[in-house]
Amino acid sequence: MSEIRYTDQHEWVRVEGDIATIGITDYAQEQLGDVVYVELPEVGTQIAAGDEAAVVESVKAASEVYAPVSGEVIEVNEDLDGSPAGVNEDAMGSGWFIKMKIEDMDELDKLMDEDSYKSFVEGLD
């Protein structure tokens, strides 16, 4: 049973066992506009929660994507290299960025669930 959690920086994380799949939310991709490039970390990199994990670029902006949890990067979405548009097309699915091995499951408790994120976003507009 997988569960999706959100950060206030518009990253999402889907947890399956101790593996976290991470991407940016649909709201974020909409705000960015056409994504033209995604810079991903190397597999094996250790990243602490809140640190920069990736960079996503549109024509007019470059935004850091922060790791919602601490751990080691075990896979990156190489499809994004050739077709960054994937982020716009399916941000919550095939447009995922990285997979991490979660070090501390308790960190997930600090993140928002879907309803909280939804009302958080509504509060932004």
Interacting residues with other proteins (CB under 8 A):
34, 36-37, 39, 57-62, 84-85
30 phi/psi in degrees, rounded to 5 = -70, -40
Minimum CB distance to other proteins, residue 59 (Å): 5
Minimum CB distance to other proteins, residue 56 (Å): 10
The answer to whether 61 touches 35, Cβ cutoff 8 Å, is no
For other proteins, which is the closer residue by CB, 4 or 63?
A: 63
For other proteins, which is the closer residue by CB, 2 or 60?
A: 60
- What residue spans of the chain are helical by DSSP H? 26-32, 79-82, 86-89, 114-124
Question: How many H helices and E strands in the chain?
Answer: 4, 9
Minimum CB distance to other proteins, residue 14 (Å): 26
